[in-house]
Structure 1
């Protein structure tokens, strides 16, 4: 392989050799570069989602860290009840799966 890449610009139709951008209209034509940009965008979206989760906790987490002790107690009760309901739901789902599997 000679290492030459000839890519036709989808925008203006000019053939470009070994370029990431069209020499005529400056449109991105490199598939590898498009993939890298898409991966960077996905990574940035995941980072933004993680930062949002850290900066905006749910009600139970906010109440657990509240300065007023009564609100902290309510937060812990709410958090505990959510955990208990989740554990019961997981156990029920496991039981139904085991019954269905035979």
Structure 2
């Protein structure tokens, strides 16, 4: 025997039995369906972000692949400088955390 769930529509106030959408105003009322839609939206947003980052590389990445050798060298130098600064910042953050931890 199936369990009957009575869900009140937040839009029109009509009670619906075991429905995903309101029978009166066609508003989505299923909490499970709302969660599924939200999860799908989050996954699609992550996919869109990955596609954007793949299609639009930063300046250093573009310069590293440039056909002119001088620009490629400048790209590698810029990339190396970014990596050195990031490494110094990470080391400094680690040191501060260790000092704060005692």
TM-score band, normalised by shorter chain: over 0.9
- 2:7 alignment partner, SS class: strand
TM-score (norm 2): 0.94
Cα shift at 1:100: 2.1
TM-score (norm 1): 0.94
State the match for 2:17 in structure 1. 17
CA RMSD of aligned residues (A): 1.2
- 2:53 alignment partner, SS class: helix
CA distance in structure 2 between the aligned counterparts of 1:16 and 1:100, rounded to whole angstroms: 57
Corresponding residue pairs, total: 102
Bigger mean CA deviation after superposition, 2-11 or 28-37: 2-11
Give structure 1 stretches of 5+ with no counterpart: none
Give structure 2 stretches of 5+ with no counterpart: none
Runs of 4+ residues deviating >4 angstroms: none
